[in-house]
Amino acid sequence: MRRRRARGYSLMEVIVAMALFGVFLFIIVTLTAEMRRNEKKWPVNFFARPEIGSIVARIRHDVLDATSFPDNIDTYSQSPTSLIVYTIDPDRSSGETVVWDFSKAGEVHRKVYKANHLTTEWVAREAPIFVCTLPPPPQPDSGDEQQVHIQALDKEGKVAIDQIFIPRPHS
C-alpha cells in the first residue's frame, strides 16, 4: 500500500495570502479612522436626525431666493433669534415674507406671511440652538453681496453647523 504525502502550502503562497489580508485590514482600519474623524468633526448626526438637514436646506432655499431682508413683520424683527426674508412665490405670482424663528430652545419655526397674514407654519423639533447673523447691507456698487450666516450649537455648546448663504442675483 502506497501512502500519499500530505502536501502543505509553500512559503510564497503564505506570503501572498498574508499580503492580501494585510491590504484588506489596512482598508478597514483606514475607513474606520475616517468615520471616527468625521464623527468628531460633525457632532450632529444627520442620519439619526434628518430634520436638521431639512432645516438647513429650507433656510438655504429661502435665502437663495431672497429679494430683500425686511427689518420686521408682525411681532418679529431681524435678530440673532429670527431671520426675516422676502421672496417671490414659486409660481412667480406674488411675494411672501418668510420668518425663521429660533427663539425656542430645541425648536425652529418657519412662518410664511402674505400681505401681513400668516398663511403657513412649519415646525422642526429636537433641533440644535440656531443663531443667525445678518450683516448690514453692502454699499451700492461695492461688489459685495448680502449674506446670511447661520450657526447651530449642539447641547454641549459646540458648533454643529456653520454656513454662510448668499442670495442669487435677481434681474
Q: What is the pLDDT of residue 128?
A: 80
Domain boundaries, the chain: 10-41, 50-165
The predicted model gives 22-26 an average pLDDT of: 97
How confident is the model over 104-134, as pLDDT tens digits? 888 899 999 988 889 999 998 888 888 888 7
Q: What is the pLDDT of residue 98?
A: 92
The predicted model gives 37-56 an average pLDDT of: 71
Rounded CA-CA distance 59/37 in Å is 27
How confident is the model over 74-105, as pLDDT tens digits? 889 988 899 999 988 766 678 899 999 999 88
Rounded CA-CA distance 126/138 in Å is 35
What is the spatial order of strands in the sheet that 107-114 belongs to? 66-68, 82-88, 95-101, 107-114, 117-125
The predicted model gives 57-77 an average pLDDT of: 88
The DSSP output letter for 26 is H
Query: What band does 47 get if pLDDT is binned at 50, 70 and 90?
Result: low
Kindly report the length of the chain.
171
Rounded CA-CA distance 123/125 in Å is 6
Q: Which residue has the cell 448663504?
A: 165
The predicted model gives 143-150 an average pLDDT of: 77
For residue 88, the cross-strand partners are: 95
Q: What is the pLDDT of residue 166?
A: 85
Query: What band does 158 get if pLDDT is binned at 50, 70 and 90?
Result: confident
Those residues with Cβ within 8 angstroms of residue 135's Cβ, 6 or more apart along the chain or in another chain: 146, 147, 149
Tell me if 72 sits within 8 A of 78, measured CB to CB: yes
Strands 117-125 and 107-114 come out as antiparallel
Tell me if 81 sits within 8 A of 103, measured CB to CB: yes
